[in-house]
Every structure is written in C-alpha cells, then in structure tokens.
Amino acid sequence: MNHSARNQTTPSNNTIPQAMLILLNLIALSFFILILPNLRKHKKPPPHRKPTPVQPLHPPPLPVQAGQDLWPNLVPEICAKTSGGDSISWSGKEVLKTQDCNFCTRPSLVGQQRLSYNRIDVIFAPHNECFRELKILCVVHLFSSKKVQYFYPIRREEDSKMIEKISSLSSASEAVNLSELLGSYQLYHLLERIFKEMDEFYDEIISDHLDPNKPKYEHKDFVDVLLQLKEERRFSFDLTLDHIKAVLMNIIVAGTDTSAAIAVWTMTELMKNPSIMKKLQDELRSVLKDKSFVEETDVQKLEFFQAVVKETFRLHPATPLLVAHEAVQKCTVQGYDVLPETSVFINAWAIGSDPPSWREPELFMPERFLGNSINFTGQDFEFIPFGAGRRICPGMLTGIAGLELALANLLHTFDWKVPTDVHEEDIDYDGVPGVTMHKKNPLCLVATKRTHDT
C-alpha cells in the first residue's frame, strides 16, 4: 500500500484543483509549449543550466479571459510564472505525435502524488507498466463507447433530477444558481475537501459497494466494475484498493469538476450571445419537436449544439495548462537538445486562441466548427482539449457524453434570462485562479419552462 505520501504536510487548497487537470487539454498547429530549462539549442549551446525544480503550478496564471487585455502578453506571462526560466514555442504535433514516445511521462509533483495515491492512477502516473494496465482498464472497462452507452441510464436519471429541481425553482420564480447546481450535481463540493476526506469518502463508497446487503441495482456503476475486475484478478500486478481509489479520484476530480466548469462557461457564453442562444434553441426545437427529454441519440443530431460545446472548449478550456508532460529520455526537438526529466507545459488556451489557426479567436463563434470535422479527439492539433497521444484523457467520451446531455436538456427544457435586478452586461468572464478554470462569480439565472407545442 502506498500510504506514505499521506504523511506529508496538508495540501493547500491549490493541490486539489491541481489534480483536476486531466480531463481537458487543447492543442494547435503552432502551440505554445513551455519548457522548463534543461535544454540546449544545437548551434550555440548556452551554458547548461540545471533544471529549475518543478513547482506545483499554483495558482497558475489566468489565461482564460475573453477580454483582449491579456491577449498579447499571455505567453511570456505564463512562462515567467511557471518555469522561472526560458520558454520556447514548439509544435504540439511534434511533441504529442511525432515524439509522443519521448514525452509521455509525467513529472512528480507533491500535491499530485497524494491525490493519485503515489502515482498509481491514470493521470499522474509515470509511463510504466501499471499506467499502461490501468489505462487499458479505463479504456476498455470504464470509458469505452460501449460503456458510455451502458452508463447512460445513470446520467439520464441524474439529469432528470436536475430538471425537476430547476422546474420547482422556476415555478417559485426563484433564480437558479447554476454554478451551485451544476457543481453539486457534479459532486464538485467533494473536491473542496482535503485528501483525507476524499480518502474516507472513497473508503465509504467502496465499502458500500462491497456490502452484501446493498440493494442490487440493475446497472453496475464504475465502482462495481472496478471491484469486479479486482476480484477476477485480471491484471499482471495486484490491483489494490488504492488503485481503485486512485482511478476514482481521476473520475470524480478530473471528469466531473471540469464538466461542471465547462457547463457554466457554456451557459455564460450563451447569455452573452443571445443570437447564438436563439439559433441553438431553434435547432433543439426543430430536431426534438415536442419530445420533453433530450436523449443521447438526439444529441448526435444536434450539429450546432455540438459546435457550441466545442467553441466553449476552445475559449474556456477548463484546464488551461494541460497536465505537465515530462521527457522520458534524451531527444532533439526542433533544434533543441532535450534532457530527460525536462517538464513540458502546454498552454491549451493559447493554442485554441492562436491567430494563425483561428480567425478572430477572441470571438465566441460556434459556426467556425460547422462544415468541417475539427474535433477534440486528438487528431487536430489546433484543438485538443483532451490532449493527444498516449496521454490523451481516457475519460473523454464519458466526459463529453455527460456534459452534452446535461446541457442539451437545460437548454431544451428552459428559457434562461438574467434576474430582473441584473443586467446582461454584468455577466462577466472572470475566472478563479486555479488549475481548473471555474467562473469566479456564480451564474444565477431565471429559468422558464419552454413550451414545445409550436
């Protein structure tokens, strides 16, 4: 058991958000990849400098702002804050595709060690045998497209509860605190707690699942699947409860927290862009007709809606700096010698806003995703909110499915407006400094049930 990491000092609040990095990673044709020192240009090698110890990225710079003021200075700013050394722009395709095998491990950061049970998870683990097996476990048993469908009834049930809750607020003419609702719906509050509580929480979940008297649900959930795999001893190593907890941490922290952040950003952008909101709701109406609940199969038909979600990922990547990569071995990238253990940070926000790849990048313009197949699946290097290569987020499909279903239903069931004492202009884009970029000021809106008989 790898409990030693727990005896370290209590993590600050920043260490929890750090763990939330996973789910979202973006990339583009000419990216801004920040490299800690520890590399030398071929021709005129500067005196070799020792790598700066990697500081936990707390609080990371604040790249995500729709305002243009931060725009031109973004990259140097991040550099200064994260590496304390040089920064170089590399192509994401070079680092995450051509040389992916050289950069597929992770640096070891204290806060992340604790949260990943000493790095036996799928997000922060170094690239080793345990990681490869856990990744297969995730890809095959938890997050495959078949499993996405399998878990659909659970998502549907959660979303129905959410809709009910909003309906009752709506009939009482009360504003809906979307930051809170989407947050608690996504178990966000759990993440506010420190490691120990998380650990106890996982123990509780696991013992609930092991309880022979537990009511038998028709559908197994993630924990059931993990426990069953442990029971069946399908692994070349001994799958321990700590492995299960580590993967649970990944699912809860990385998946749900980032989805919650993105859902709030999507609603924010739609409130700021009423014509886009209208176009989206018109699409929902014409595709769904008088259906009251959007099913997952319907979401596939909502082309404009999907473009809206992508555009939100582009402008508001929930984890603006991806989970750091680390060089596995000595290699040469675009003229630089890279030494082993060089940390590489990828600025997802800057990549998704890079003017050569994106026209008028500061505008929220979902149409840019129509009529092309640019997607976040790690092939299009100007847009990789889930990363790419060996370290691409294994939970991508599950994360997207949950996010899209919840959002589509929020927008299909209700019309949204700002409370009477608030002006639309007052809705801002301020983010909370943190690894996961949450909206700082809560988004509170009044919901009105839409009628679907026209």
Ligand X SMILES: *[C@@H]1O[C@H](CO)[C@@H](O)[C@H](O)[C@H]1NC(C)=O
Report the binding-site residues: 393
For the chain, how many helices (H) and strands (E)?
A: 18, 9
Supply the minimum distance, in Å, between the C-beta of residue 153 and ligand X: 19
Contacts of 419 (CB under 8 A, 6+ apart): 175, 444, 445, 446
- Token pair of 40, please? 């030398």
- Token pair of 305, please? 């809606």
User: Closer to ligand X at the Cβ: 243 or 438?
Assistant: 438
Which of 407, 136, 382 is CA-nearest to residue 270?
407
DSSP tag of 251: I
First-to-last alpha carbon distance for the chain, in angstroms, is 61
Quickly count: other Cβ atoms within 10 Å of residue 162's Cβ: 19
Touching ligand X, residues 170-229 (CB under 6 A): 177, 179-180, 183
- Token pair of 352, please? 């998704």
Supply the minimum distance, in Å, between the C-beta of residue 262 and ligand X: 15
Binding mask 104-143 for ligand X (x = CB under 6 A): ----------------------------------------
Bridge partner residues of 33 (DSSP): 346
From the annotation, which residues make up the binding site for heme? 393
Supply the minimum distance, in Å, between the C-beta of residue 442 and ligand X: 4
- Token pair of 233, please? 């001893």
Query: What is the identity of the amino acid at 197?
Result: E
Of the candidate residues 220, 377, 430, 449, the single one contacting ligand X (CB under 6 A): 377
Which of helix, strand or coil describes residue 21? Answer: helix
CA distances in angstroms from 388 to 98, 385, 396, listed in the order given: 11, 9, 11
Q: Which residue is nearest to ligand X (CB)?
A: 180
Which one of 104-112, 215-223, 312-320, 373-381 is the stretch in contact with ligand X (CB under 6 A)? 373-381
Supply the minimum distance, in Å, between the C-beta of residue 180 and ligand X: 3
Supply the minimum distance, in Å, between the C-beta of residue 417 and ligand X: 16
User: Closer to ligand X at the Cβ: 138 or 338?
Assistant: 138
Which one of 91-99, 105-113, 350-358, 369-377 is the stretch in contact with ligand X (CB under 6 A)? 369-377
CA distances in angstroms from 333 to 44, 89, 258, listed in the order given: 15, 11, 31
Supply the minimum distance, in Å, between the C-beta of residue 266 and ligand X: 16
Contact 298, 414 (CB under 8 A): no
Of the candidate residues 10, 171, 173, 375, the single one contacting ligand X (CB under 6 A): 375
Helix (H) / strand (E) element for 218: namely none
Name the region of 219 (left: φ>0; alpha: ψ -120 to 50; beta: rest): beta
CA distances in angstroms from 135 to 126, 318, 418, 440, listed in the order given: 12, 22, 43, 33
- State how far the Cα of 170 lies from the Cα of 184, in Å rounded to an integer: 18
- Token pair of 165, please? 């809750």
User: Closer to ligand X at the Cβ: 5 or 187?
Assistant: 187
User: Closer to ligand X at the Cβ: 213 or 372?
Assistant: 372
CA distances in angstroms from 63 to 7, 129, 316, 351, 431, listed in the order given: 34, 35, 9, 11, 9
Touching ligand X, residues 394-433 (CB under 6 A): 397, 400
- 110 — phi, psi (to 5°)? -55, -50
Supply the minimum distance, in Å, between the C-beta of residue 146 and ligand X: 13
Contact 111, 15 (CB under 8 A): yes
Supply the minimum distance, in Å, between the C-beta of residue 143 and ligand X: 12
Binding mask 431-450 for ligand X (x = CB under 6 A): -----------x-x------
- State how far the Cα of 103 lies from the Cα of 93, in Å rounded to an integer: 12
149 lines the binding site for ligand X (CB under 6 A): no
DSSP tag of 322: P
User: Closer to ligand X at the Cβ: 108 or 177?
Assistant: 177
Supply the minimum distance, in Å, between the C-beta of residue 306 and ligand X: 6
Which one of 39-47, 207-215, 371-379, 386-394 is the stretch in contact with ligand X (CB under 6 A)? 371-379
- State how far the Cα of 411 lies from the Cα of 416, in Å rounded to an integer: 8
Of the candidate residues 9, 68, 275, 373, the single one contacting ligand X (CB under 6 A): 373
User: Closer to ligand X at the Cβ: 89 or 377?
Assistant: 377
Size of the site for ligand X (CB under 6 A): 11
Supply the minimum distance, in Å, between the C-beta of residue 440 and ligand X: 10
User: Closer to ligand X at the Cβ: 179 or 281?
Assistant: 179
DSSP tag of 169: H
User: Closer to ligand X at the Cβ: 339 or 444?
Assistant: 444
User: Closer to ligand X at the Cβ: 62 or 178?
Assistant: 178
Binding mask 50-89 for ligand X (x = CB under 6 A): ----------------------------------------
User: Closer to ligand X at the Cβ: 89 or 144?
Assistant: 144
Q: Which residues here bind ligand X, judged by CB under 6 A?
A: 177, 179-180, 183, 373, 375, 377, 397, 400, 442, 444
